[in-house]
Chain A
Amino acid sequence: MFARWRFERRLRSLAAAGHRVLQDYAAADWPDRSCAASTAPYLALDFELDGLGIEAHLLQVGWVPFQGSSICLAEAHSVDIRSKADLDTAAVTIHGIGEQRAARGQKLREVAPRLAKELSGRILIAHAADIEVSAIERMAASVWGVQLPVRSICTLALERKLRPNLVGTEAYRLGPSRARYGLPEYEAHDALTDAIAAAELFQAQLSRVPAGVTLGELEQT
């Protein structure tokens, strides 16, 4: 109920923050919550982290903006993020992003403005979007010291609405969810691949929701 109010209040405080990129973010053409979901602008995004804890480091981010029925990969983007921290060995094994590569990546304060610019006026799409949203919030807090408001749709939550009766959590993971829509298997744990995978899943889910469903009905509150 108050999601819109909270979002707009935070946007207003961004405008006062004194950073050009944040002012632009606040002034962007944000779609109305009554806008049809099929025509809204989105940004599918995925982070690779070195752990799942609150202090986990961001290693890589991949995103692809899309709107309407096709996902244009020319606009897809992937960045390794520089991190000097000792990386969590288990997570590093999964992502294949070693310390050397992480040390060669871009600095967080270079990545953050680009991401904020891409996300301006767009709804974030991710599978288990809470992780991405909180990662962005932490990033904004450390770079600018602000609370960045993010609008998002979680494909996992949407899948739980569309298929409420599946047993266990495994069935709702990205791969099994995609398979139910006839989407191919992708190699996991590459930020951009996962972002594209989420975008495709969302397109597939959109083909199953009633025509004319609005953003407000799908967005996380």
Chain B
Amino acid sequence: MTSEIKAVANFLAQTAPFQFLGEERIASISRNVEVRYARSGSEIIRAGEHNDHLFVVRSGAVELRLAGDELTARLGTGSTFAYPSLLRGGEVHNTTTASEDTLLYTIPAEQFHALRDEVPAFRQFFAEDEAARIKHALDNRKQTSAFQLDTKRLGDLIVNTNPVSCPPDIAIASAVSLMHEHDVSTLAICDGQRLQGIFTDKDLRNRVVAERVALDIPVRDVMTASPQTLSTEATAAEAMALMAAGGFRHIPLVSADGALAGVLSATDILSAIGNNAIDTGTAITRARTGDALIEAAKRVPESFAAMTASGLQASHAMQFTSALGEAVHRRAAELAEEELGAPPCPYGLVVFGSLARREQLVGSDQDNGLVIAEDTDSAGASYFEALGTRISDLLDASGYVYCKGGIMAKNAGQRLTQEAWLDRYEKWIAEPTEDRILKATIFFDMRCVHGEADLVRSLRREVVAKAASSSIFISYLARDALRNKVPLGIFRNLVLEKSDDGQKVFDSKAQAIMPIVDIARTLALAHGRTEISTADRLAALAREGKMSEDDSQSLTDAMLFVNELRIAHQVRQVESGMQPDNLISPYSLSPLERDYLKDAFAVIRNGVDALRRNYAGGIA
């Protein structure tokens, strides 16, 4: 007896959920398969009958029809069906018909049940619930990632758990000799166990030597007070994002009781994963001229590729790319100020859209503006015009190209006083029209990246409160969110459009990511939440009981999953020298990925439907 039926085993080995089973089990299944051919239009199983086989579509496609109901699902190569009837003891609820000429492999119920008992991954796959299946897909991916940034505790990364520290009142000279003695570049300044500040080589250069400060004054006066810290329980991903955003190379770690536990250096992380992204962040933050900034910013796509290659997950790659983007914006504003002199009054540089949500990938254009504290005279106005223009130009040259919609600080309409911004938002909120909302949603994702953060914070708080109190505005937002068509037909097939070269593709950004972003934004504003990133919004909605934990988690997972596909797609394009886009052909995905993608779309469709029911009422 041969051990396996090759043609069948080879196919099952690439097909969810059999690919989890290992060679031996697959061989045994291949032996028990019965092959059936169904001509297009012929019935395979009928509602009300008894079924004792699991069906796998080997080629062709079938249509599942719920008893006495509309069409429900269309399944193609690699899909399994009829398992719900096996789970309920054989009674068939869905009549299934071949919608194309179809070859089916069927597996006896006994073997199906035995596999479910023996193999958790197999059982999990048939956990009927789409949400559970996506979760499962993400777990699988995480397990296969090379380095797990979000499970790596910082406490485990630091080499020296006994940081060199000193009290705040010792003289600078003694502090420096302590650093020299221990050969460290960072000194923790502690009051007892509590961290008060840090003092670094850089501080010594910039605040002591350059300023000609006397060496006998207390180190307290020149240290960086209340530095950003992280818990030892925080993850490597969080530390990398903080370092890239702030351009720091050292972060003090504190334990749960607030005591200093160590100083994490960029080198600690780099040696753990081997990656140049923090270096890019540092190069951006330290760029002394516009040209240096442009040069440094050019390394962002490269860092992105390196991050992905080192097994960084979608959420981190986005967080990180966004952090680098923020750093470029901040540095562009700082350099512009250096060239033009101090601003006549406080202002904030704000970004909108994906960068504000910290969900940016490479290749995005710029969306920004200035929030100015008060009305200025004409000299003030021309200062901000020059500032805005310089910032936009620097960004354009750095790879954040001019916004086609004109949402950038070089345009007068994007340089408003806080009051004028508020008027603009109020107009959108009080008198929404379909067209206005279409153009305005991006403004409701806003983050300050430089300057007076308080100006922006109070503006945003007021805007959110006004939005939450206007149900007509929220219903327009909800209606706008329904514009994006989820490419899942009522048959659970992928309803695809053809790209320019005639391939069938789906737009992973417009058809999957944007609907989730829109759902989260609409609900967050409806409930007066000021969070900006989609994951934060969904988490806050669940925490506040405005959305079920399950729905919130499923949408977050669906976004993560699609973003992983999207990033992998873009990295492949970058590697083969193409301009990255968001158009993915489902045929480039494995059957398992296609399955999970359909689950993700089902989750998104549910979210959109809920939005339609609850908020778009009356006008959608």
Which A residues lie at the B interface, using CB under 8 A?
Answer: 69-74, 76-78, 181-184, 186-187, 190, 192-193, 196-197, 199-200, 203-204, 207-208
Contact = CB atoms under 8 A, between A and B. Distances in A.
A127 to B, nearest CB: 15
A184 B37 contact: no
B101 A204 contact: yes
A180 to B, nearest CB: 9
A200 B31 contact: no
B36 A182 contact: no
B34 A72 contact: yes
Contact of B6 (A181, A182, A187, A204): A187
A199 B39 contact: no
A220 to B, nearest CB: 22
Contacts of B30: 73
Contact of A199 (B8, B33, B35, B106): B35
Nearest to A194: B7
Given A182-B103, A183-B59, A73 B5 contact: yes
B321 interface: no
Given A182-B59, A184-B103, A196 B36 contact: no
A191 to B, nearest CB: 10
B337 interface: no
B31 A184 contact: no
Given A69-B37, A190-B7, 16 more contacts: A70-B35, A70-B36, A73-B5, A73-B34, A77-B2, A182-B59, A182-B60, A182-B100, A183-B101, A183-B103, A184-B59, A187-B10, A196-B35, A200-B37, A203-B37, A207-B37
Contact of A70 (B31, B34, B101): B34
Given A182-B103, A186-B7, A203-B37, A73 B42 contact: no
B533 interface: no
B493 interface: no
Contacts, number: 74
Given A71-B34, A73-B31, A73-B35, A193 B1 contact: no
Contacts of B6: 187, 190, 192-193
B14 to A, nearest CB: 12
B508 interface: no
Nearest to B10: A187
- For the complex of A and B, the 9 pairs showing the least CB-CB separation, nearest first, are A182-B101, A207-B39, A203-B37, A71-B35, A184-B59, A70-B34, A78-B2, A186-B7, A193-B7
* Interface residues of chain A: helix, strand, loop or mixed (majority): mixed
7 contacts: A73-B35, A74-B32, A182-B100, A182-B101, A182-B103, A186-B7, A207-B37
Contacts of A199: 35
A100 to B, nearest CB: 18
Given A73-B8, A192-B2, A181 B36 contact: no
B353 to A, nearest CB: 45
B102 A73 contact: no
B569 interface: no
Contacts of B537: none
Contacts of B5: 73, 76, 192-193, 196
Contacts of B11: 184
Nearest to A206: B37
A182 B102 contact: yes
A204 B31 CA distance: 22
Interface string B1-36: 110011110110000000000000000001111111
Contacts of A76: 5, 31
Interface in B49-77: 58-60, 77
B50 to A, nearest CB: 16
Q: How large is the interface on B (under 10, 10 to 19, 20 to 34, 35 or more residues)?
A: 20 to 34
Nearest to A182: B101
B7 A197 contact: yes
A190 B77 CA distance: 23
Nearest to B100: A182
A208 B35 CA distance: 18
Nearest to B108: A74
B92 to A, nearest CB: 17
A207 B44 CA distance: 13
Nearest to A196: B7
Nearest to B29: A73
A140 B33 CA distance: 32
A208 B518 CA distance: 50
A196 B6 CA distance: 10
A70 B32 contact: no
A199 B37 CA distance: 10
A181 B39 CA distance: 8
A207 B35 contact: no
B322 to A, nearest CB: 44
A163 to B, nearest CB: 14
A6 B7 CA distance: 38
Interface in B284-298: none
A55 B356 CA distance: 78
Contacts of A186: 7
B2 A204 contact: no
Contacts of A187: 6-7, 10
A200 B103 contact: yes
Nearest to A181: B101
Nearest to A186: B7
Contact of B35 (A77, A193, A200): A200
A69 to B, nearest CB: 6
Nearest to A197: B7
B106 A70 contact: yes
A204 B38 CA distance: 8
Nearest to A201: B37
Contacts of A192: 2, 5-6
B29 to A, nearest CB: 10
Contacts of A190: 6-7
